[in-house]
Amino acid sequence: MSRAFMESELPSFKESNPQLEVVAELNRGQHPYLKGLYENKNERVVSVMNMTPEDVLLCATRLRNSLGRKVVKLKTRHVTKHPSVQGTWTTDMQI
């Protein structure tokens, strides 16, 4: 299935994204995967085993659009650069 992507979708993906360097390698005995190398020295690897060519194209565009950094989980919804020493202000405070 990923072989069909290599034959049909990959050439048009290369032409539509000239800013990317797309390299196709043949590794026998390995499952197919996409690897994204980013300028901030990070890399992401996505397995495309048993995916249709449309799904592989979707994974490739997600790798293209992502920044390459890990997802940071937020502890609270309230995010600020300079947190207050006294805590966050709410309208329900009883003084």
Q: Render 26-89 in DSSP notation, one character per residue.
A: --TTS--EEEEE-TTS-EEEEE-TT--HHHHHHHHHHHHHS-SSPPPPPSSS---SS--SS---
What's the DSSP call for residue 20? S
Phi and psi for 64 in degrees, rounded to 5? -65, -40
What band does 54 get if pLDDT is binned at 50, 70 and 90?
Answer: very high
Query: For the chain, first and last CA: distance in Å?
Result: 66
Residue 61's pLDDT is 92
Task: Give the model's pLDDT for residue 27.
Answer: 85
Position 58 scores a pLDDT of 92
pLDDT digits (tens, 9 = 90+) for 26-50: 888 999 989 888 888 888 889 989 9
| pLDDT, averaged across the chain | 84
